[in-house]
Amino acid sequence: MKKIVTFGEIMLRLTPPGFLRFSQAPSFDVVYGGGESNVAVSLANYGLPVDFVSRIPANEIGECAIMEMKKRSVGTQHILRGGERLGIYFLEMGAMARGSKVVYDRAHSGMASMTKGMVDWDEVFRDAQWFHWTGITPAISQGAAEATLEAIHAANRLGITVSTDLNYRKNLWKYGKKSSEVMPELVAGCDVILGNEEDAEKHFGIHPEGVDVTREDSMDAMAYQSVCQQLMTRFPRCKKAIITLRGSISASHNTWTGVLYNGKELLVAPSYNITHMVDRVGGGDSFMGGLIYGLLTYPDDQQALNFAVAASCLKHSIYGDANLVTVGEVQQLMKGDASGRVSR
């Protein structure tokens, strides 16, 4: 099978142990992760060949990030070395009515100082069938946005499927341009577009009418068909538009499902009631990894969507950014076995 390529920043994640607040933390737990690297780890866990492309500083911390990718069987041969530092984000885990908080520290990182022309995309895409990027990368810097566009154009020229997770991050767009000025040109080159309830609105002003995303009982999947249709109208290259739907009852209790529109019909996945969450960070990335695997593996879109939602449901039980589950575990949940019984 031809490989999948993902492109973005891997970061050092620092989290107070347990559910301590930043002000209580005597130490921080270390995890490495980022949107595109998380997708790569999912795909490698499912047995697919995948390369992660990034720019990482030539120091010991950068080596640790690369070692994490290698440990998960992700290809790292196209990672560039450079920049002053590895990006960092601090995560305070929420519980019950207290939401989680993220503080970014990413200025002058390897990816933030990236520019177009640094990557030989023809070489990277040799024997590739799929390219994935997210809205996080072009938010980091102008150079990272230009490098992303360069990669998309190369993938389009070579006939490679391109997917994106829109991933709007208001705290990252700080270099003088709004997402609405940058994202449309990038998304125009995408065949598969994924977003959550708010991404399309924040980037493009596209939104479902009469939906309050803060209310769990407002997560009517059918209401999002118009969002998918508007995305496909604005970006004619798009063949599949997918929306993840999270109902937030509390920081510890969510509902989770998704819809896929393929231009003909709206498909709705089963809904999962996720209680006592271990870690919700990376939930969308785990969905994207499951979706790419499903679209490459299953004969129809409904099975691919169901796999993505089930895979992402399981991610909420795993500490850290990446989804460390197997195809068999996902398929077991898809069949309705959510007992969590010990496997002996």
Mean pLDDT of all residues in 188-210 = 89
pLDDT beyond 70 at 46: yes
Mean pLDDT of all residues in 242-256 = 93
Domains recognised in the chain with CATH numbers: 3-334 (3.40.1190.20)
Pairing of strands 240-250, 253-261: antiparallel
Q: End-to-end alpha-carbon separation of the chain, Å?
A: 32
Separation CA 163–CA 190 (nearest Å): 5
pLDDT beyond 60 at 162: yes
pLDDT beyond 60 at 216: no
Instruction: Tell me the percentage of the chain whose pLDDT exceeds 70.
Output: 95
pLDDT beyond 80 at 220: no
Reported confidence tier of residue 211, pLDDT bands at 50, 70, 90: low
Residue 163 near residue 135, CB atoms below 8 Å: no
Give the pLDDT confidence score for residue 207 in this predicted structure.
82
pLDDT beyond 90 at 156: yes
Mean pLDDT of all residues in 317-334 = 96
Out of 255-259, 269-273, 283-287, 336-340, least confident range: 336-340
Give the pLDDT confidence score for residue 222 in this predicted structure.
75
Rounded to 5 degrees, what angle do the CA atoms 300, 314, 168 make? Answer: 80
Bridge partner list, 257: 245
Reported confidence tier of residue 219, pLDDT bands at 50, 70, 90: low
Mean pLDDT of all residues in 26-31 = 97
Give the pLDDT confidence score for residue 65 in this predicted structure.
97
Bridge partner list, 242: 194, 260
Reported confidence tier of residue 1, pLDDT bands at 50, 70, 90: confident
Separation CA 109–CA 88 (nearest Å): 9
Residue 177 CB neighbours (<10 A): 15
273 membership: H or E segment, kind and range: strand 272-275
pTM metric for this prediction: 0.94
Average predicted confidence (pLDDT) for the chain: 94
pLDDT beyond 60 at 312: yes
* Closest C-alpha to 40, from 19, 66, 69, 80: 69
Residue 91 near residue 101, CB atoms below 8 Å: yes
- Residue 23, C-beta contacts closer than 8 angstroms, at least 6 positions apart: none
Mean pLDDT of all residues in 38-67 = 97
Report residue 309 as tokens: 């939602």
Rounded to 5 degrees, what angle do the CA atoms 201, 312, 213 make? Answer: 30
Give the pLDDT confidence score for residue 212 in this predicted structure.
58
Phi first, then psi: what are they for 162, rounded to 5°?
-120, 130
Place of tokens 């231009």: 263
Give the pLDDT confidence score for residue 342 in this predicted structure.
56
Give the pLDDT confidence score for residue 257 in this predicted structure.
94
pLDDT, tens digit (0-9, with 9 covering 90-100), for 83-128: 999 999 999 999 999 999 999 999 999 999 999 999 999 999 999 9
Mean pLDDT of all residues in 300-326 = 97
Mean pLDDT of all residues in 311-323 = 97
